[in-house]
Amino acid sequence: MTIDDQGCRMDEEEFKKRTRRMGIEVIRLVEDLPPGRATDVIGRQLLKSATSVGANYRAACRGRSIEDMIAKLKIVEEEADETLYWFEVLSEAGLVPQARIDDPMDETHQILAMIVASIKTLRSRQYKPPNRKS
């Protein structure tokens, strides 16, 4: 279960679809990039990080323990943050109009926020041993 940006619960199948749609949107964006060495390199990096979000979320859903799920969700968090970085580079370098990446960037921000909220929720559920007096 994942918490969305409005504090609502989203089941894992819905979130899998959402991360997959984000990856597909980035694939389309990268395919539309103008030709050039910089866009080839940055596009490849963006493609890897964006599609990794969904792939690693699926892996997190198969986690064997809360600790395993948290570790895998941290990878999702890192990949989503890296995706935002590459969007920013594309925009600031003038390689893509900001308007073209506004929606995918917003979706990535929302996914990142939900992953962070999920990590916090899972951490609060971890077993904490009671304090023992010596």
Mean pLDDT, all residues of the chain:
90
Rounded Cα distance, 108 and 19, in Å: 9
Phi, psi of 120 (to 5 degrees): -60, -40
Structure tokens at 63: 């986690």
Identify the pLDDT of residue 12. 86
* pTM, 2 dp: 0.85
Identify the pLDDT of residue 101. 95
Long-range contacts formed by 63-69: CB under 8 A, 24+ apart: 66/122, 66/125, 66/126, 67/126, 69/122
Rounded Cα distance, 126 and 91, in Å: 40
Phi, psi of 9 (to 5 degrees): -85, 140
Structure tokens at 90: 């594309």
Identify the pLDDT of residue 7. 45
Structure tokens at 48: 């890897």
Identify the pLDDT of residue 9. 55
Residue range 33-80, pLDDT digits in tens: 999 999 999 999 999 999 999 999 999 999 999 999 999 999 999 999
Domains delineated in the chain: 2-124 (1.20.1440.60)
